């Protein structure tokens, strides 16, 4: 297959690109950066501005699939009004540009993979959430809903669309996990907020495998939760980290402190969802790391 990946220079994009190249596919990586993507094999970096089809439209004529991963990191910094505008524009504008490229193409790709997030479901307590659960009503949920809706028009163009609602992707060097590990490195790990909020996660290996699986599965369509089948509360998540690292688990971090530091962005840490990847499991996908302990052990042995 020939595949276009928008936002392919981030952690998930690089993992997926490496997986696809290893399987013999060719990948174009659309990025605002110029230069080499740092990945050896059948790949080419193509510069775009994330807003128009200028300079890369012709690639769609050759592409079998489009994977849209474009979007600024939700947890990178405090949600100022300027930051919130960027979080929205960095998701909506690339999606609209990609849709326009498909609309203009005489030969259209057969499949579109759309990144999304479990924040779609809003804050929940104990109940299990699957792909049939409704969207939340908080600001983050509304952003994710709009993110998904921005690419919906490709379905009317005859393209099969898959929405991937991702949990926290566990990597030992990038993303949320290194920041979560920091207190444990200093022997100061403990519950965050109430500790009862659920964390829906997935290993770096499994997210790349799951995306490649969906790309190749001709029966796949609609929404899939890309999370491990065993989410944990913040307390159980933290205790597992402490056990794997052989560190104590004792120092709580109160919610008011996080809100004072991070403002609205604290919702990413303090609120959660107990998300189950029901459709992915029903489709036959097998997780390499369904349990947190084995996922962490594999990361720390890399």
Q: What is the pLDDT confidence band of residue 255, given thresholds at 50, 70 and 90?
A: confident
Per-domain boundaries in the chain: 2-170+201-228+276-282
Q: What is the pLDDT of residues 223-239, one digit of tens each?
A: 999 999 999 999 999 99
**Is a pLDDT exceeding 70 seen at residue 40?**
no
**Is a pLDDT exceeding 80 seen at residue 38?**
no
The whole-number pLDDT of residue 259 equals: 83
Q: How far apart are CA 19 and CA 120, in angstroms?
A: 27
Q: How far apart are CA 106 and CA 100, in angstroms?
A: 12
**Is a pLDDT exceeding 60 seen at residue 250?**
yes
Provide the percentage of residues in the chain whose pLDDT is more than 90.
82
The CATH code belonging to domain 2-170+201-228+276-282 is 3.40.50.720
**Is a pLDDT exceeding 80 seen at residue 151?**
yes
Query: Who has greater pLDDT, 51 or 258?
Result: 51
Q: What is the pLDDT of residues 47-70, one digit of tens each?
A: 999 999 999 999 999 999 999 999
């Amino acid at each position: 297959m020939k595949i276009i990946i928008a936002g392919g220079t981030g952690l998930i994009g690089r993992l997926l690109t490496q997986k696809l190249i290893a399987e013999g596919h060719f990948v174009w990586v659309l990025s605002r950066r110029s230069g080499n993507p740092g990945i050896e094999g059948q790949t080419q970096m193509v510069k775009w501005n994330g807003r128009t089809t200028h300079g890369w439209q012709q690639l769609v004529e050759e592409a079998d699939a489009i994977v849209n991963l474009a979007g600024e990191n939700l947890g990178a910094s405090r949600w100022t009004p300027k930051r919130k505008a960027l979080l929205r524009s960095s998701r909506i504008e690339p999606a609209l540009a990609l849709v326009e490229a498909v609309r203009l193409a005489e030969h259209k790709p057969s499949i579109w993979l759309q990144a999304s997030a479990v924040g779609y479901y809003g804050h929940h307590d104990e109940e299990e959430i699957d792909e049939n659960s409704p969207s939340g009503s908080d600001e983050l949920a509304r952003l994710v809903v709009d993110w998904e809706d921005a690419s919906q028009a490709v379905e009317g163009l005859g393209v099969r669309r898959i929405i991937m609602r991702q949990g926290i992707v566990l990597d030992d060097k990038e993303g949320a996990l290194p920041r979560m590990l920091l207190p444990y490195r200093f022997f100061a790990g403990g519950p965050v907020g109430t500790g009862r909020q659920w964390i829906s996660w997935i290993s770096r290996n499994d997210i790349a495998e799951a995306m490649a699986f969906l790309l190749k599965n001709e029966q796949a369509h609609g929404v899939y939760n890309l999370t491990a089948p065993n989410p944990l509360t913040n307390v159980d998540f933290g205790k597992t980290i402490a056990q794997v690292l052989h560190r104590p688990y004792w120092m709580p971090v109160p919610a008011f402190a996080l809100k004072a530091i991070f403002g609205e962005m604290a919702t990413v840490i303090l609120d959660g969802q107990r998300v189950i990847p029901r459709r992915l499991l029903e489709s036959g996908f097998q997780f390499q790391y369904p349990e947190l302990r084995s996922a962490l052990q594999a990361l720390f042995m890399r």
